[in-house]
Every structure is written in structure tokens, then in C-alpha cells.
Amino acid sequence: MRMLVVEDDVEAQRYLVNGLRESGHVVDDAADGETGLTLALSRPYDVAVIDRMLPKMDGLRLVQELREHGNVTPVLFLSALSEVDDRVKGLKAGGDDYLTKPYAFVELLARIDALMRRRQPSAVKTKLQVGDLELDLLTRAARRNGSSIDLQPREFRLLEYLMRHAGQVVTRTMLLESVWEYHFDPQTNVIDVHISRLRAKIDKGFEPPLLQTVRGAGYMIRAGA
Amino acid sequence: MFGFRLFRTLAFRIVVVYLALFALSAGALAAFTYWNTKRALEAETDQTIQAEIAGLSEQYQRQGLGGLTDVITARSMHAGQGLYLLVGPLAHPLAGNLDAWPALRRTGSRFVEFEYERRVGGTLERHPARGRIFHLVGGLQLLVARDIRERADTERMFTTALPWSVMLMLSLGLIGGAVMSRNLLRRLDQINSTSREIMAGDLSRRLPLSRAGDEFDTLARNLNRMLDRIERLMKGMREVTDSVAHDLRSPLNRLRNRLEGIMRRLPHEGEEAAEIESAISETDRLISTFDSLLLIAEAEAGAARNSMSAVDLSALAHDVWELYQPVAEESGIVLAMVPSKSVQVRGNGNLLSQALANLVDNAIKYTPAGGKVTIAAERNGAGAVMSVADNGPGISEEDRPRAIERFVRLEASRHSPGTGLGLSLVAAVARLHEARLELGDNRPGLRASMIFA
């Protein structure tokens, strides 16, 4: 995948670029808004990671200009500003996701992954399947290996999100944001408890376990460990 | 409402006091004028009568009774205001323009007053008169008097007109006072409502100026200048906070990233990996404390005010209840939700959710297994109320104010994890929403309520 990173903090940029390259991506970088915009307009990218506060042209302006030129490259904003307001501003300006600094690198990777998948719109699915676990989005029914599983509405949404991102790491923050629509971290790690409940319902008594914990990152659902 | 408030305004009270003083002095002036005019008119009448008596007595001395009678008869012909009656010893009229001796009323002085009938254009009218009796030899008596009808009319006019004019003056004064107070009140209301908005956090608002350039405008201009200054300071503070956020978070970012990088290169199992992982979670705790502080600062600056919308506390509470349900269950605590209809308030849903989550989190932490935590969102007499009640150890009454203060963690809870900023954030969110945060006794346990007026 081709990526553009626009970040003015030299060390953060080096770390980010190295990390992305290690993960197998092709990365271009820029240290200010103007260079970033020129690069973004001259080459096709799969994803752009842009800091909100940049010299010469700030991140918001950069993305606004990009969108005015008809460029629809998915943009992930990085920002030290964590206010919901700032997030809304970022998304209004044309950003597709917003990540507050400091972030875990796995979180960034997970979000980039999700952004790139969103870019390839699949046919409207009414059924999700991972291994022998099936989720019918119309009847809101879950079955594993033929036997039906009783899920609460929120558990259903949690499982749906995980299954839509099957094979991808999904972080706790991503789950809080998409399943609960909360933009804060509760003091206790409530997500872990919800996951362990869900796990008890879909994995207990079945082989192999589908819902896995990804150390230091989050969770992933996939067929065959 | 407006009318009732009117009477309590300073302007109206001033008007009433001045009106009373004015009415008093105007009344005194009118009374003095009345009294003086009356005295002058009386004196004039009395002098005229005195002069006539003097003239008549001279005639009498010079020409005797006959001469006197002639003069009286002559004067009676074109009398005007003058009244004359000469009577004999048996009170039969000898000369003059009065038909009969009238019933006299003594006054304090030598003068007498009486009423008589006078033919005015074909009708008889009773007129008041004032005069003096002059005794002649042989039991003859002469009454010399003047019609004082005009004078009495003037007096009556004065006494009837006075209360009316006083009443007119008072009502005009009251209307004027009311209008004036209303205008003042309107200006003050503008200033008050703007101040409230500013206090609520909208520092960009300014007091309205009129074109009058009066004292209120001077006041408003000064206040506006003060607000400009405060806004500049706040903006400066915000900029500092923002750049601190940027400058401090970036190094934290790098620190976390380095640790993460090291961890990725290490084999998953092993002592080093565990060490690095705990260093990462230490960094995360540092970051979250830092985030809470920034969030509290933001909430206290009222900056999130612009992102307020209609929020249903009941739905919000239900979501938080659902989020914490499994957590409570794991700790062996019953988490209950009091069902209620929708409770609408204006607010920032995310901050309110976070505040409620903090309260629930705290309640679960401090309630021993087997306890019960109850979430409620309802509208009662006090307004919209969102509360979390537990039956844990509670907080003693003297410790409650301290519990809300920043960084303060109560001695009894030192062993529990948490940054201690939970309740402080709740307090800041409450302030942002102009809600009251109350810590009360749940007998036993703690009841924390946010009351939206």
C-alpha cells in the first residue's frame, strides 16, 4: 500500500515512517503542509496520515484543499488535541478518522487498515461469516456450527463490528467509538469484560476459538488461529 | 412578572421618594399661598368696609341722620358689592339695599358675617357677606357690609382644585417613574442577560451599547473593555494549554513509541517484555492523568459550550448502565437502573457520559461485593437529576467537599487504583452545565447527584 505521512516532529515522523515500512507499506513523507499538499495532489495514495498542527499550512486546511481538488484519499488525522470538538472539526474538514497523540502504533495500524478496507465498498452483505460462526444481519440471529447463540443487542453490534473487520486487529478505542459511540476511555477497562462475555457465548464449547486477544493492541476475530 | 419587578427597582423607589418630597413641598407652598391670599383678600374687604364706615360716620356728624340716609340711599342705588342697612330701634329698615336685618354670625374680630338673598338676573341667590355694625344714638344701627361671594368662590376653587392637581401630579409622576424604571430595567436586563451568557462561558459576547452615550453606555463600555482583557487572557491561557498539550504529548508519544518498538523486537515471552509492557502501561496512566487535567481545564473554561445539544439523560444513563453491567457483575455487585421517561437537558453528551461513567466506576470500586449501585435519571421538583447511589462505605460529611477537589484522594481509598481525578472531572462537567453536584448520604453509602436547574 502507498501511504503519505505529513508530520513536522522529526522523530515522530521517522518512527511512524519506519513502523509503516516495517509493516510492508510504501511511504512518502513531508514535514510541512504545503509540501504535503503538493505530494498528495501529484501522486495517488491509498491513505494519508496527517498531523493537525503543521508549519506553513495546518492539517485542516491541507485536507480542505485536497477535498476541493476532488481528491478522496482516506485521511487519518493525528492530533495532540483530544477534544470532541477538535475531532468534529477534523472530520468536517474532510478527514476520515482522528487519532489523538500519543497513540499506540498498533492502534494506528488498525485504523489505517480499517480505512483502506472502507475504501473498497463490498456488496451489501446480509450475512457475515467467520469459520462456522454466522451472523444474519436481517434476522439479527447468530449461529455457530448450526446451534443458535442468544445475544443482547449490544453484544450483537460488538460481534458485528468484529466480524466486519475479521482478520484485522480491532482496538478497544475503536470498539468504544463504533459500538458505544463514546469518545473517552472509561477508567476501568470495561471493553475487556464485554469481550470476555461475548467470548463465553461464541467460543465456549466450540473449537477452534475465533475471538483472540492481540497482546498490547486489542482483539481480532478470525477462522483458524 | 415585569409589573411586579417594576416596584422593586431602584429607579422606581427613587421616583416614589422624590414624588413624596415634591408632593409635600408643593402642598406646603399651595397651603401657604392659599392662606396668604385669603388673608390679603379679607384684609382688603375689611379695609373697604372700614373706609366706608369712616365716610358715613363723617356724613352723619356733618349732616345728621337725614344726610346719612341720603348718602346710604344714593350709594345703595349703584351699590355693586356694597351692602347697607340702617335700622331703627325696633329693627325696622330705614334705608339701604338689604330688605331685613340678617342673622349675624360673630367672627373673632369686630366684624360679622351673614348670608342674604340677592336678585341676580331675575333669580334669588343666597350670597355670603361680611360687614360691621355701627351704633348711632337713639338705638339706630347701621350695618355696612360687602358681598364676599367672589372671594368665597375663589377660595372654593382653590380648595377643590388643589386635591385634583395633587392627584394629577402624583399619577403623572408615577407613570413617569414607571416608564423611566422600565427603560432602566430594560437596559439592566440586557446587561444582566449578556452577563449570564458570558458567565456561562461565551466570552465572545459583549454588552450592547445604545446611541444615548449615557452612564449605562459608559458602564457597558468599561465592562466590555474588561471582557476584552479577560478574553485575551483566556485565549492566551488556552493557547498555552494547547501548546503544552502539543509539546508535552509529542515527547510522550515518542517515549511510548520507542517502548512499543522495543517490545516488538523482543520475544513475546520473557522478563524484558513484561518490564517494557509495564513501562508502557505506566506511560498510558501518565497520559490519561494528563488528558483528564486538560479535559477539566477545558470544561472549566467553558470551551465545550459550543458543542452543546439536546441530550436525553435517561437514554444516556441507560447506555452507561449497559456499559458497566458486566463490570459490576464481575465484582459481585448489582447495578440497577431506575426506569424513567426521557429527561431532556442541553449539554455535551460525551462529557456527561464520561462524568456518569466516572461516578459509576467510583461507586463500583468502593462498594464491596454483594452491594448494590443504582443509576437514576429523572425530573423532580429540583429539576433534571442524574444520580448514582451505592451502599458502600460512603464518604463522611466533612470529607465530601474535599472529595470534589482536584488530586485529593480520601485516605480510606488509597489502596484502590485510579487517578483521583474522577470526581473532579465530574465537578467540572457539572459546572460547565450549570448543574449542581451533590454528594449525599444514601444511608448507608454515597449518593452522588448532578442536578440540572
Q: CA A168 → CA A192, A211, B153, B425, distances in Å?
A: 17, 11, 111, 34
Structural domain ending residue among the three candidates A71, A103, A119: A119
Per-residue H/E/C for A117-180: HHHCCCCCCCEEEECCEEEECCCCEEEECCEEECCCHHHHHHHHHHHHCCCCCEEHHHHHHHHH
Chain A, nearest residue to B349 by Cα: A182
Same domain, B287 and B410: no
Q: What is the mean pLDDT of residues A174-197?
A: 86
Cβ of A136 under 8 Å from any chain B Cβ? no
Same domain, B150 and B34: yes
Average pLDDT over residues B146-172: 83
- Determine the distance in angstroms separating the CA of B448 from the nearest CA of chain A, rounded to an integer: 18
* ipTM of the complex in this document: 0.76
Between the ranges A78-87, B114-123, B272-281, B299-308, where is the mean pLDDT highest? B272-281
Q: What is the DSSP letter of B205?
A: -
The DSSP H or E segment spanning A101 is: none
3-state secondary structure B246-280: HHHHHHHHHHHHHHHHHHHHCCCCCHHHHHHHHHH
List pLDDT tens digits, range B230-239: 888 877 877 7
Tell me which chain B residue has its CA closest to the CA of residue A181. B350
pLDDT at residue number A195:
93
Looking at the structure, tell me whether residues A64 and A170 fall in a common domain: no
Element (H, E) at B90: none
> Can you say how many angstroms the Cα of residue A220 is from the centroid of all Cα atoms in its chain?
12
From A119, A142, A167, the end of a domain falls on A119
Nearest by CB to B254, from A12, A85, A180: name it: A12
pLDDT band at residue A172 using 50, 70 and 90 as cut-offs: confident
- Whether B295 and B322 map to the same domain: the answer is no
Mean pLDDT (chain B) is: 81
Residue B101 pLDDT > 50:
yes
B283: chain A residues, CB-CB within 8 Å: 102
Q: Hey, which bits of B69-111 come out as E strands?
A: 82-87, 93-96, 105-106
Query: Would you say residue B374 has pLDDT above 90?
Result: yes
3-state secondary structure of A46: coil
Q: Does residue B356 share a domain with residue B262?
A: no
pLDDT one-digit tens code per residue, B22-65:
888 888 888 888 888 888 888 888 888 888 888 888 888 888 88
- How far is it, in rounded angstroms, from Cα A176 to Cα A154? 11
Residue B357: what residue type? A
Q: Can you give the pLDDT at residue B336?
A: 92
Domain that holds residue B131: 2-157
Does pLDDT of A124 surpass 80? no
| A215–chain B Cβ distance below 8 A for any pair | yes
Q: Which of A169, A187, A195 best probes binding to B when mutated, by most B CB atoms within 10 angstroms?
A: A187
Our CA-based measurement puts residue B288 at a distance from the nearest CA of chain A, in whole angstroms, of: 9
Domain that holds residue A19: 2-119
Helices (H), chain A: 10-22, 33-42, 59-68, 84-92, 105-119, 153-164, 172-175, 190-202
Amino acid A122: pLDDT: 62
Residue B183 included in any domain: no
Instruction: Among B113, B137, B157, identify where a domain stops.
Output: B157
Domain CATH for A168: 1.10.10.10
Interface test with B, best of A54, A183, A184 (most B CBs within 10 A): A184
Q: Which phi and psi (to 5°) does residue A184 adopt?
A: -145, 160
Torsion angle, CA of B321/B327/B331/B335, rounded to 10 degrees?
Answer: 10
**Searching chain B, which residue's CA lies closest to the CA of residue A84?**
B350
pLDDT digits (tens, 9 = 90+) for B377-408: 988 887 899 999 988 887 777 777 776 664 44
**The residue to which cell 414624588 is assigned:** B19
Per-residue pLDDT, averaged over B347-364, amounts to 88
State residue B367 phi and psi, 5-degree precision: -100, 125
- On whether both B241 and B334 belong to a single domain, the answer is no
- Beta strand extents in B136-173 (DSSP E only): 141-147
Asked if B424 has any chain A CB less than 8 Å from its own CB, the reply is no
Interface contacts (A, B; CB < 8 Å): 104
Least CA distance to A176: which residue of chain B? B323
Q: What is the mean pLDDT of residues B111-123?
A: 81
Q: Model-level pTM?
A: 0.61
**pLDDT confidence of B191, banded at 50, 70, 90?**
confident
Domain match, B264 and B325 both: no
The three cell numbers of residue B136 are 348711632
Query: Are residues A88 and A137 part of one domain?
Result: no
Q: Which of A60-69, A180-189, B436-445 has the highest mean predicted lDDT (pLDDT)?
A: A60-69
Edge to edge, what strands does the sheet with A47-51 contain?
A: A26-30, A2-6, A47-51, A75-79, A97-100
**Do residues A108 and A189 share a domain?**
no
Q: Are residues B348 and B296 in the same domain?
A: no
Co-location of A7 and A111 in the same domain: yes
pLDDT digits (tens, 9 = 90+) for A32-80: 888 999 899 888 898 999 998 888 888 888 899 889 888 888 999 988 7
Q: How confident is the model at residue B375 (pLDDT cuts 50, 70, 90)?
A: very high
pLDDT at B414: 43
Q: Is A124 exposed, middle or buried (0-12, 13-18, 19+ CB in 10 A)?
A: exposed
Chain A contacts in chain B segment 392-421 (CB below 8 A): 418-419
pLDDT in tens, A142-162: 998 888 989 888 899 999 999
pLDDT digits (tens, 9 = 90+) for A77-122: 988 766 667 777 888 888 888 888 777 787 888 899 888 877 666 6
pLDDT of residue B413: 47
Higher pLDDT, B373 or B94: B373
Of B438, B444, B439, nearest in space to B392 by CA: B444
Contact, B394 vs B446, CB < 8 A? yes
Asked if B116 and B170 touch (Cβ cutoff 8 Å), the reply is no
Asked whether residue B271 falls in the same domain as residue B139, the answer is no
Length of chain A: 225
What pLDDT, on a 0 to 100 scale, did the predictor assign at position B415?
46
Mean pLDDT of B204-223: 84
Nearest to A52 by CA among A67, A64, A41, A38: A64
pLDDT at site B420: 61
Query: What's the pLDDT tens digit per position in B289-316?
Result: 777 777 777 776 666 566 678 889 999 9
CB–CB contact A15 B254 (8 Å): yes
Pick the more confident residue, B138 or A58.
A58
Structural domain tally of chain B? 3
**Among partner residues B291, B322, B324, which is closest to A82 by beta-carbon distance?**
B291
Tens of pLDDT, residue by residue over B309-348, are 888 999 999 999 999 999 999 889 999 999 888 888 888 8
Signed CA dihedral, B180, B182, B185, B191: sign only: negative
φ and ψ of B96, to 5 deg? 120, 175
Check: CB of residue A96 under 8 Å from CB of residue A108. no
Which chain B residues are closer than 8 Å to A194 by Cβ? 323, 326
Helix or strand (DSSP H, E) at B162: helix B149-199
Is B448:B359 a contact under the CB 8 Å cutoff?
Answer: yes
Mean pLDDT in residue range B196-207: 78
* Nearest-by-Cβ selection for A101 from B249, B326, B348: B249
Same domain, A131 and A216: yes
Select from B242, B252, B323 the Cβ nearest to the Cβ of A180.
B323
- Which domain-ending residue is among A119, A135, A162? A119
Q: Amino acid identity, residue B321?
A: W
Which letter, b or e, does each residue of A187-220 get, where b requires 16 or more Cβ atoms within 10 Å of its Cβ?
Answer: bbebbebbbebbbebbbeeeeeebbbeeebbbbb
Q: Does A15 touch chain B (CB under 8 A)?
A: yes
Final residue in a domain of this structure, among B120, B138, B157: B157
Return the top range by mean pLDDT from A197-201, B245-249, B410-414: A197-201
Between CA B50 and CA B132 the distance in angstroms is 8
Report pLDDT for A159.
Answer: 93
3-class SS letters over B101-122: CCCCEECCCCCEEEEEEEEECC
The residues, any chain, with a CB within 8 Å of residue B160's CB and separated by 6 or more, are none
Q: Are A111 and A187 in a shared domain?
A: no
Asked whether residue B165 is assigned to any structural domain, the reply reads no
Cβ proximity of B114 and B145 under 8 Å = yes
Q: Cα(A52)–Cα(A8) distance, rounded to whole angstroms?
A: 10
pLDDT tier, B79 (very low <50, low <70, confident <90, very high otherwise): low
B190 vs B246, which has greater pLDDT? Answer: B190
The pLDDT assigned to B317 comes to 93
Q: Is the dihedral of CA B126, B130, B136, B139 positive or negative?
A: positive
Query: Which residues touch A211 (CB under 8 Å, ≥6 apart)?
Result: A162, A195, A198, A199, A202, A203, A219, A220, A221
Q: Within an 8 Å CB–CB cutoff, is residue B444 touching chain A? A: no
* Residue whose grid cell is 367672589: B150
pLDDT at residue B409 is higher than 60 = no
The answer, for A82 touching chain B at a CB cutoff of 8 Å, is: yes
What's the confidence (pLDDT) of residue A5?
A: 93
